[in-house]
A and B are shown apart, each in its own frame.
Chain A
């Protein structure tokens, strides 16, 4: 390490999806979710493993770090919690004790905890605000020199949403909406009401929505939320319990929709689909109004978004099609995990990067040499062929070793033969999506594959749609989209028939575009499939089963492959066939259980 190198470590934890990210001279060089190492979905614990991975990847020790950044201000958050308990007294009696225990034992001591975990680090620990971290994670990683910023999530310290402008290397959030009024928590309240897990299964509500009609949207707008023309909103808290209780909604909420809260695992009927469609329609409307208002205010077609709500691909698609915002950058790990990236970027650009070139109007411009634009999500650990080979030998499994070209041709042959293939190679993705390094691939032309992959491989609900990966150069031909999306963050209508496995009931799809620079092997598979079938689209879903975090190591991948009904596994330069796998090993793999999400 030379003296001029600046390393900033970003950490997010203690709510959900804890993560760590490492910045080297303004560029993110490593980032990972803690859940991938601990195999506990949405793990909120201090990201010890993710931090260790980041430091090892960079070849540095904790003492070499220039700064450490945490993704929120804990004392400000504690103030909000205390004030809320005072405001809702005595209704909060049941949640008070567990909440305070957590805060007094753990969450108030984050600074000491970081020093304890990073034993040899004695530098400063910085605490940017939660929504500043979100805003920075989007704007400072975006390709724009000027852009409107919108952050929206469940809650940070006080703010649940914030908006403003990014210019040069500066971020100015001008307005915010405070807790308990939260679009993220409103969506989570519906997630809870429909029998899904909060802070985990919001995307299921989004997937359920196209099956329904938004016949409750007016009811929601009349009773639950008051939305202004500029997209700002206020909730009617008489219907909610999340601000003081252990649940999200109360009896009044259930009475409004004429049915009680569904138990977890409830099989959705048309009624639930209509409720899901209604909250999705309201969310879309709020996001579209906000985007329009930001355009009116700042007269820029560039918009950067982060926060959990920014992962709502349907709303993102609506912003691109229904507002003057033409360039949308959503940070791919827009949720709390991405806060680690934002905190590190903000600290670097605000105080550690002391000599940026001067720009227009005296602004500190994004330093061209040190400014990093988000170009890939492949920021996690990678494993060599030698490591993979050692694992295969250890478990005495049969495999074929192929050259790159043959491996691609063989993968395409298998997919064409209607096999479902696990695809493992390269660095693990950062963010909630598998984008071609930890993926399951299948033929999108076969409608049966949607049911098969859902029920027999992922063991998840049959209504869940699958996302397509499409060659970037073919996007306009196959989808109603004039934008590319390498991170699977928007939804568009499907233009052509012939890919039923990835076409949702409303003819939409949450697509991923791919070009050769982004991921050579992955691109070549899709391209070879196109050459042979004239269809440039495959099913791409994350390499995991229900309730399991996306696989991280070759061992995780092998076990997931053996546990599920996947047909083949392509792992590094090796290819495995389920038929040839030892029965005892399959039995061992099947003993691993994951709690349903």
Chain B
């Protein structure tokens, strides 16, 4: 058994780099297709609604572009949050 597994492992080791390269390439194509579809199909209706809502917002003339920050009391819990 060992006689078969050992050379197979060696072969896999040699072939791994081109296999990995190939798999990465396929993965890139797949992710490009999926992400593009997401952008065109899912994001489009969201974008239309977002822009429609934005149009209804009154355009204010501001004296300053500095925006007040919402300052919550910083605690261990707020600092642990990633959002």
Contact = CB atoms under 8 A, between A and B. Distances in A.
Given A89-B43, A96-B35, A97-B32, A126 B80 contact: yes
A351 B76 CA distance: 6
Given A162-B69, A176-B66, A230-B66, A86 B35 contact: no
Nearest to A132: B74
B21 interface: no
B43 A85 contact: yes
B79 A175 contact: no
A206 B40 CA distance: 41
The contact size tier of chain A is: 35 or more
B17 interface: no
A111 B80 CA distance: 10
Interface residues of B, number: 31
Given A73-B83, A90-B44, A111-B82, A232 B65 contact: yes
Interface in B24-83: 28, 31-32, 35-36, 39-40, 43-44, 46-47, 50-51, 54, 62-69, 71, 74-76, 79-83
A124 interface: yes
Contacts of A126: 76, 79-80
A347 B69 contact: no
A177 interface: yes
Contact of B69 (A97, A124, A174): A174
Contact of A128 (B31, B65, B71, B79): B79
A274 B31 CA distance: 45
Contacts of A162: 69
A539 to B, nearest CB: 41
A351 B80 CA distance: 11
Interface in A331-345: none
A234 interface: yes
B52 to A, nearest CB: 12
Interface string A217-240: 000000000101010111000000
B79 A350 contact: yes
A279 B27 CA distance: 43
Contacts of A79: 83
B64 to A, nearest CB: 5
B83 A178 contact: no
Contact of A101 (B31, B47, B50, B76): B31
Given A97-B36, A101-B31, A124-B80, A228 B67 contact: no
A127 B47 contact: no
B39 A176 contact: no
A172 interface: yes
A127 B82 contact: yes
B21 to A, nearest CB: 17
A75 B80 CA distance: 12
B69 to A, nearest CB: 5
Contacts of B69: 162, 164, 173-176
6 contacts: A79-B83, A86-B47, A164-B69, A172-B71, A228-B65, A232-B64
Interface of B: 28, 31-32, 35-36, 39-40, 43-44, 46-47, 50-51, 54, 62-69, 71, 74-76, 79-83
Interface of A: 73-76, 79, 85-87, 89-90, 92-93, 96-97, 100-101, 110-111, 124-128, 162-164, 172-178, 181, 226, 228, 230, 232-234, 347, 350-351
Q: What are the 6 closest A-B residue pairs judged by CB atoms, nearest first?
A: A89-B47, A232-B65, A75-B83, A175-B66, A126-B79, A75-B82
